[in-house]
Amino acid sequence: MTRTQLTEQIRGKKSYLCVGLDTDITKIPPHLLSHTDPVFEFNRQIIDATKDHCVAYKINTAFYESAGARGWESMEMTVNYIPSTHFKIADAKRGDIGNTSSQYARAFFETLRFDAITVAPYMGEDSVRPFLEYKDKWTIVLGLTSNSGSRDFELQPAGDGYLYEKVLTTVARWGTPDNLMFVIGATQPDWFEGIRRLTPDHFYLVPGVGSQGGSLEVISARAMNKDIGLLVNSSRDIIYAGRGEDFAVVAGGKARGYQLEMSGYL
């Protein structure tokens, strides 16, 4: 998916919502367990209920990899079920030496046909470059994350600023705003204005809104650019909003609530 296509989807739907499919089989409604593939059935109903209110889906691959081959099958079926109009993110946080990264890129861009993948940058350019070589695919590099451990490295002094700032400015030179995004956690709102000055044209994938406490209003005010430049992710707050047989209806209502709030900020 190109930047133009993504921006058109955002403006057309008045939404920059990304729904996270962090599907844990121990948390899905019990009545789904009788299905041949309960995880896919849960995802299918969530997608049907939320697709009119969001522009992207993010699959946290750990929830699928932990189930072995069956989990990969559920993930592949889910990716194939997501409409082609929606941006598909593999939240895999890969990053290794170049020839290994090439295989990761092949797995997620060719075999599973995601539009984007999250990548850790700390092994340097040669570990990120294989992802950037795919046309109309996106590499989403970890910038400033929402977890408390971000203080251990990302927020450590480096030169005249912090390490995460050096990461942003260095990585921005490896790609372009048309194929490179950054993960910026919603629980770090005080840093967004400075981050936007460092990377004025890039999109940000923003986790941490909802159950993690990030404010959609604050992030929208501080981080939008001329193309909106945001994909705000909500996972648990949407997909586990309901636990009964009407779980998908409840999830759809939650997603619509986000979309209505977002439309007011556009």
Domain locations along the chain: 3-265
- For residue 206, the surrounding DSSP H or E stretch is strand 203-206
CA distance 21 to 122: 26
Closest by CA to 248, choosing from 46, 35, 24, is 46
Q: How many residues does the chain have?
A: 266
Residue 212, pLDDT score? 67
pTM as predicted: 0.96
Residue 45, pLDDT score? 98
Closest by CA to 180, choosing from 219, 131, 146, is 131
Query: At a CB cut-off of 8 Å and minimum separation 6, what does 253 contact?
Result: 241
Residue 6, pLDDT score? 97
User: For the chain, which residues score pLDDT lower than 50?
Assistant: none
Q: Dihedral sign, CA of 140, 143, 178, 124? A: negative
Find where tokens 């949407």 sit: 238
**Is 254 annotated as catalytic?**
no
Residue 30, pLDDT score? 96
Residue 191, pLDDT score? 86
- For residue 218, the surrounding DSSP H or E stretch is helix 216-223
CATH 3.20.20.70 fits 3-265, yes or no: yes
Catalytic residue among 93, 135, 166, 226: 93
Residue 153, pLDDT score? 86
CA distance 252 to 136: 29
Q: Dihedral sign, CA of 38, 43, 46, 47? A: negative
